[in-house]
Structure 1
């Protein structure tokens, strides 16, 4: 009798009683049933536990834990706690306010059964308000491989790696965890660290997850210029640059991109932090300082040129 590989779903939650049951129901609706769902409560104060009680009592695959003091408060700490509890062959992170396509686990497990890949990425769509349950159940889709050669596209968010849009083989998290001091971009930092190490995966062109847009999400707070989220993003950029430098993958175009990003993070002294990480010669440092100093003017004239070109 063939043993089906088990998927470990890690769901961190915090005061999300309004949405979490719908997320849980999308897990129960999965066509692939060999899974466990580790729910980590980050110390919420609402009635999430009460709402989940019927499900927890009826289905042993759901396990509910309160984050312990051994992990820092926040999404990274809660997910790390979940990672230390999982028992499955494959790991996937679901948020407590989103909805998974019924074929999510089935199709990812199928792709990961191929020995030459360690993760499966898919498309994540977004929605506002009530979710429209009208799924595409087709198993016909195109795909392409991803490895360290795609790191620039990933870092620039041209090839999106949302936290809930990838299933990983468990080995990807051996000696790797989320940076618990990050309150934003923690998955972007960790996933780039995994892929830059030489890990190869596949991306399938099918929507398998639906992210709920609402103002209380981490992403919503970031785009409202929340200082905690912005400071975290600046720190994540520094961690990414340090990792790429160590792995000799920090190209000129990647560095130029982040130095341009640093213009929007002057209050966090991001440019100076990047320069300190690089350990440049005096000449190289001077070149980048001149580039940074003239960058606003160059961007201004570039914007005019784009308008004229249209």
Structure 2
């Protein structure tokens, strides 16, 4: 498996996995979702919680975790569906892999959890190690991706 926290050209430590969580006014279930993420055996992640014009209690739930790996963005206008907030989260993702975790879903730590999925991702169907821009398949919920800016330039 990759070394945890690879240094980016900017000097920042990049997480292995960026977890995008779109939410809208469900702070109680969001709390449980974040607890399930924190409970994973793999700890090399960042969570990007994107509120879809949420009430003030939603950012309070995120802040209560006091975990620098969890960031919160609140959109000023409600998209009304998850694609908008997910795309905002993807644009801010820094990890080598991106995963979507819905705000009302849980990840359990067990052999089929996040760390095993990533172990499988390190060998793709052709036997090569995944690399930037190399599709590794999505059946396990993760895929390598190329980060692009709004003008279509590779970051």
Does residue 67 of the first structure (1) align with residue 67 of the second (2)? no
2:122: which partner in 1? 113
Cα deviation for residue 44 of structure 1 reads: 1.6
Query: How far apart are the structure 2 equivalents of 1:83 and 1:74?
Result: 15
Cα distance change on mapping 1:174 and 1:111 into 2, 3 Å = farther
Matched, 1:33 2:8: no
1:45 aligns with 2:63: no
Contact 1:111–1:120 (Cα < 8 Å) also in 2: no
Q: How does 1:75-224 map to 2 (within 5 A)?
A: 75-103=82-110, 104-115=113-124, 116=126, 118-122=136-140, 166-171=141-146
Contact 1:112 1:120 in 2 (8 A): no
Match of 2:3 in 1: 3
* Stretches of structure 2 lacking an aligned partner (at least 5 in a row): 5-14, 127-134, 150-155
- Identify which of 15, 19, 32 aligns with 1:22: 32
Deviations, residues 4-62 of structure 1 (Å, cap 9, x unaligned): 3610100000011121111100000011111000000000226122222221xx21100
8 A contact 2:62–2:70 mirrored in 1 = no
Measured in 2, the distance between the counterparts of 1:73 and 1:86 equals 22
CA distance in 2, matches of 1:68, 1:170: 27
Name which structure has the greater RCO, CA cutoff 8 Å, separation 6+.
2
State the number of aligned residues: 127
Structure 1 vs Structure 2 CA RMSD: 2.4
Where do 4+ consecutive residues of structure 1 move more than 2 Å?
2-5, 71-74, 119-122
> Which structure has the highest helix share of the two?
1
* Residues 54 and 18 of structure 1: CA distance in aligned 2, closer, same or farther (over 3 Å): closer
Distance 1:174 1:121, change over 3 A: farther
Q: 5+ residue gaps in structure 1?
A: 123-165, 176-310
CA distance change for structure 1 residues 108 and 68 in 2, over 3 Å: closer, same or farther? farther
Cα offset for 1:73? 4.5
- Bigger Cα Rg: 1
Query: Judging changes above 3 Å, is the alpha-carbon distance between structure 1 residues 86 and 34 closer, same or farther for their aligned structure 2 residues?
Result: same
In 2, Cα distance between equivalents of 1:49 and 1:94:
17
Query: How far off is 1:65 after superposition?
Result: 0.5
